[in-house]
Amino acid sequence: DAGVTQSPTHLIKTRGQQVTLRCSPKSGHDTVSWYQQALGQGPQFIFQYYEEEERQRGNFPDRFSGHQFPNYSSELNVNALLLGDSALYLCASSRREGYNSPLHFGNGTRLTVT
């Protein structure tokens, strides 16, 4: 049973560029959340997708957008990259039913913006 998988594992981009990160949820999970983790800090909630719609959003600018596909996989897009966007981007999946259940995280995509 595959867990949450993310690609790529590492990425280097230049300021102003755009990036797309991908996530496949754990088998049986239908909800995907994205988190940004800066070095030495806890993960910060970006947004959550369920039934192909953004359901909740954290305090992140519109440069951050996402998508969920019919197979529950998801993408995170960041436009006009800033140096401050350098971080570990974590995808987490869960089941909508049985609310309040732990998140299952992937190992993240390390994004470096130069």
Partner 1 sequence: GESVGLHLPTLSVQEGDNSIINCAYSNSASDYFIWYKQESGKGPQFIIDIRSNMDKRQGQRVTVLLNKTVKHLSLQIAATQPGDSAVYFCAETYTNAGKSTFGDGTTLTVKP
* Footprint of partner 1 (CB under 8 A): 4, 33, 35, 40-45, 48, 55-56, 58, 90, 92, 99-100, 102-108
The dihedral through the CA atoms of 98, 103, 109, 114 has a sign that is positive
Q: Which two tokens stand for residue 13?
A: 């981009």
Q: Minimum distance between the CB of residue 107 and partner 1, rounded to whole angstroms?
A: 5
In DSSP notation, 53-89 reads EEEEE-S--TTEEEEE-TTS-EEEEE-S--GGG-EEE
Q: Minimum distance between the CB of residue 49 and partner 1, rounded to whole angstroms?
A: 10
Q: Minimum distance between the CB of residue 16 and partner 1, rounded to whole angstroms?
A: 28
